[in-house]
Structure 1
Amino acid sequence: WSEDRFQEIIKETSTFIKKVGYNPKSVAFVPIFGWHGDNMLEESPNMPWYKGWTKETKAGVSKGKTLLDAIDAIEPPV
């Protein structure tokens, strides 16, 4: 549950996302630990450094804290 490791993963993943033609600013990055359900449905007390995600959307900016929030914020293709 290291913030440094999470930031490293965001950096590496963002590079790949750019290469395949997506804008990393339109992606919600959420640190989760599925075994315990951390940040999946509810905010986890095990990652106090995590303040939530922000992403750009067609309608403006979306914010959330969990994987469920990120899934709910996915915009369907038009």
Structure 2
Amino acid sequence: MGKEKVHINIYIIGCVDSGKSTTAGHLTYYTHGGTDEGTTENLKKEAAVMRVGSFKYAWVLHKLKAEHVQGVTIVLSIWKFETSKYYVTIVDAPGHRKFFKNMIIGTCQADSAVLIVAAGVSELEAGNSKIGQIHEDALLAYTLLVK
């Protein structure tokens, strides 16, 4: 009998509009974490109708209609997939300050985290400013012993 697979919880954290949900959605889609071509095609059409085509992968994870309308993650979005060594749970955490409590609740259960930082100069500067969230998110993960 082979070695049992390890469970790992990976949390995607970062500033609002940094691309957390899009990154997590791509990862979920390309690892076949519960999405199929038909679902993705429907999301692509819905995003095009709402003129936010770039949101199609983010919407792979978003389940609330309000998340589609507002364009932000409100509740933790969870997807699972399996590799040869691991059972992986990807959790997309809200980045908007209004939903910070939801992000904290989720981070408490994380084994590891991926901090997404926007690459655009203005977004990076905003996230790194005194009122930005990059340091706050990293400090929270560190304080909760997330690797």
* TM-score normalised by structure 1 residue count: 0.34
TM-score scaled to structure 2, two decimals? Answer: 0.23
Bigger radius of gyration among the two: 2
Normalized per residue, the structure richer in strand is 2
Of structures 1 and 2, the one with the larger relative CO (CA 8 A, separation 6+) is 2
| Structure with the higher fraction of residues in helix conformation | 2
